[in-house]
Amino acid sequence: MADKRGSRPHPRGRRPAGENTRAALLDAARAEFTERGFDGATVRAIAQRAGVDAAMVNHWFGGKDGLFVAAMEIPVNPEEIVHRILDGDPQQAAERLLRTFLSVWDTNGGGALTALARSVASHEQAAQMMREFLSGMVFGPVVSAVAPDQLELRAALCGTQVLGLGMIRYVIRLEPLASAEHNTVVAAIAPNLQRYLTGVL
Amino acid sequence: MADKRGSRPHPRGRRPAGENTRAALLDAARAEFTERGFDGATVRAIAQRAGVDAAMVNHWFGGKDGLFVAAMEIPVNPEEIVHRILDGDPQQAAERLLRTFLSVWDTNGGGALTALARSVASHEQAAQMMREFLSGMVFGPVVSAVAPDQLELRAALCGTQVLGLGMIRYVIRLEPLASAEHNTVVAAIAPNLQRYLTGVL
DNA sequence: GTCTATACAACGATAGAC
DNA sequence: GTCTATCGTTGTATAGAC
């Protein structure tokens, strides 16, 4: 189109050390995977968003798959989340757990959860990551600290309620839960979740 | 049924009126969308599975989108499901509801649910269909028949628990829920679901 | 001078549209 | 059946850091 020379946007060759192409690709990949899922996101779009060439994906991550696993490292610190949930009365752990998830998901309108659902349903790799993350990093530690028995079953049950809430509220967007205040959601769901944590099954 | 050219699986030219190309395409589309999701399923594979030419998709449905909306009509009869759930003690409606969903999903290993999750997360159109299906065809009628108040909220809450169970058991495949017997699942979850149906919120 | 991060071009495959 | 667009990937020349 623009035949006029003179403004080449990206000169070739090694860039100054301060510009970190790898980090830019990771940021762009998180955004694109979040918005379009694994299949929908294209290597070219990610590279363009990062302001670099698509070949850099291969150079730094070996391909689209490598970029995906590198980018989907959970940004929030699970240990901090678990600590917040466990700090206080164990009989109110469910309420704190719910408020924590609601806050995290609400920050970006559930976009991250939508992307996660897409990736999990489309990619066995993502399903395995989700499996390990849920049981190992979040519900596992919480259940270990507050539950009397059947730790694995309780952790999985908590997963059903929390993930289901996320799907209905943020992905399906079914009213009135989609627009409900945090207090309303907590009042309705926390008692059930508390039974999974410490109640009799 | 003898064909003049016996060995040829698909003779050229217009087929006899009895063979319904449109229906064959719908069946094939349901199977492919179920196995691969919307983006993963290809028009060519669907047409091949139906034993017709890919151009028939355009002719009958105007394109891939039209075929999708036509194919995703729910195959099971919701009225029959609702009737089964409502037949009996309202205080055990949650158990019957759970057993119904477990039976439906177990018949194909959760493949339909996985495809649904993929489609819902990827397409606002599918999310809207899911919304209308959940509130209008399944939980809506059930809640209307057994719940004392807050019908819409109760329906959405039931959605969180049932859909969450499906995601954990069939999509994420988190143990021990993924391999648990129906009785085990029902014993753990039915009391919580029953609270959403008829309990105090 | 050497190394390497980078941009660019092109390839083979495959999709949906017509 | 053909066409066109676009995908992920690969090969290669180059510019700048070391």
Q: How confident is the model at residue A6 (pLDDT cuts 50, 70, 90)?
A: very low
The verdict on residue B10 lying in a domain is: no
CB contacts < 8 Å between A and B, how many? 143
- Checking if the pLDDT of A101 tops 50, the result is yes
Task: Read off the CATH number of the domain in which B115 is found.
Answer: 1.10.357.10
Q: What is the DSSP string of A2-36?
A: ----S--SS-SSPPPTT--HHHHHHHHHHHHHHHH
The verdict on residue A139 lying in a domain is: yes
- In terms of average pLDDT, the best of A4-8, A196-200, B37-41 is A196-200
For residue A164, give the chain B residue with the closest CA: B164
| Cβ partners under 8 Å of residue A26, min gap 6 | A67, A70, A71
B42 touches chain A (CB under 8 A): no
A187 touches strand D (CB under 7 A): no
The SS3 assignment for B6 reads coil
Average pLDDT over chain B reads 86
B59 and B99 co-located in one domain: no
> What is the percentage of chain B residues whose pLDDT exceeds 70?
87
- Checking if the pLDDT of B117 tops 50, the result is yes
What length does chain A have?
Answer: 201
What is the average per-residue pLDDT within A70-91? 85
The answer to whether the beta carbons of residues B30 and B115 sit under 8 Å apart is no
Alpha helices (H) in chain B, listed in sequence order: 21-40, 43-50, 55-61, 64-71, 78-86, 93-106, 111-122, 124-132, 139-146, 151-166, 182-198
Contacts of B118 in chain A (CB under 8 A): 118, 121-122
The verdict on residue B142 lying in a domain is: yes
Which of these, A161, A194, A101, lies nearest to B193 by C-alpha position?
Answer: A161
Q: How confident is the model at residue A16 (pLDDT cuts 50, 70, 90)?
A: low
Of A68-77, B63-72, B91-100, minimum mean pLDDT range = A68-77
B29 touches strand C (CB under 7 A): no
Closest CB to A171: pick one of B121, B171, B191: B121
Q: What is the pLDDT of residue A74?
A: 66
What is the average per-residue pLDDT within B47-71? 91
Q: How confident is the model at residue B12 (pLDDT cuts 50, 70, 90)?
A: low
Structure tokens given for B90: 């309202």
| pLDDT tens string A38-73 | 888 999 999 999 999 999 999 999 999 899 888 877
Q: How confident is the model at residue B174 (pLDDT cuts 50, 70, 90)?
A: very high
The verdict on residue B2 lying in a domain is: no
Structure tokens given for B78: 């919701």
| pLDDT tens string B137-150 | 889 999 999 999 99
- Checking if the pLDDT of A80 tops 90, the result is no
B82 and B112 co-located in one domain: yes
Rounded-to-integer distance, Cα B108 and Cα B31, Å: 11
Q: What is the pLDDT of residue B20?
A: 85
- Checking if the pLDDT of B170 tops 60, the result is yes
Give the gap in angstroms from C-alpha B99 to the nearest C-alpha of chain A. Answer: 16
What is the average per-residue pLDDT within A6-14? 56
- Checking if the pLDDT of A1 tops 70, the result is no
The verdict on residue A26 lying in a domain is: yes
Q: Regarding predicted confidence, which is higher, A187 or A36?
A: A187
What is the average per-residue pLDDT within B30-34? 85
B93 and B166 co-located in one domain: yes
- Residue type at A167? M
Q: How confident is the model at residue A8 (pLDDT cuts 50, 70, 90)?
A: very low
- Checking if the pLDDT of B72 tops 80, the result is no
Residue whose structure tokens are 């209008």: B136
A194 and A115 co-located in one domain: yes
B51 and B144 co-located in one domain: no
Residues of A numbered 109-168 whose beta carbons fall under 8 angstroms of chain B's beta carbons: which are they?
A: 114-115, 117-118, 120-122, 127, 130-131, 134-135, 152-153, 156-157, 159-165, 167-168
CB within 8 Å: B165 and A165: no
B82 and B62 co-located in one domain: no
Of A97-101, B36-40, B112-116, B175-179, minimum mean pLDDT range = B112-116
DSSP letter for B48, please: H
Rounded-to-integer distance, Cα A135 and Cα A149, Å: 15
Domain ranges, residue B188? 78-198
A2 touches strand D (CB under 7 A): no
B45 and B85 co-located in one domain: no
Closest CB to B121: pick one of A114, A159, A163: A114
What is the average per-residue pLDDT within A64-84? 84
A99 and A173 co-located in one domain: yes
The verdict on residue A162 lying in a domain is: yes
CA distances from B68 to A181, B4, B118 (A): 35, 36, 13
Rounded-to-integer distance, Cα A81 and Cα A103, Å: 11
Rounded-to-integer distance, Cα A186 and Cα B157, Å: 11
Closest CB to B173: pick one of A37, A117, A131: A131
- Checking if the pLDDT of B5 tops 90, the result is no
Given B43, B72, B101, the domain boundary residue is B72
Q: What is the pLDDT of residue A137?
A: 84
A39 touches chain B (CB under 8 A): yes
A20 touches strand D (CB under 7 A): no
At residue A121, φ and ψ (nearest 5 deg) are -75, -25
> What is the percentage of chain B residues whose pLDDT exceeds 90?
56
What is the average per-residue pLDDT within B91-110? 89
A69 touches strand D (CB under 7 A): no
Contacts of B196-200 with CB under 8 Å at 24 or more apart are B196/A188, B196/A192, B196/B94, B196/B154, B196/B157, B196/B158, B196/B161, B197/B90, B197/B93, B197/B94, B197/B97, B197/B142, B197/B143, B197/B146, B197/B147, B197/B154, B197/B158, B198/B90, B198/B91, B198/B93, B198/B146, B198/B147, B198/B148
The SS3 assignment for A64 reads helix
- Mutation target vs A (from B35, B168, B170; most A CBs, 10 A cutoff): B168
Residue A151, class by beta-carbon neighbours within 10 Å (0-12 exposed, 13-18 middle, 19+ buried)? middle
> What is the percentage of chain A residues whose pLDDT exceeds 70?
90
A8 touches strand D (CB under 7 A): no
Q: What is the pLDDT of residue B118?
A: 78
Residue whose structure tokens are 């091949």: B48
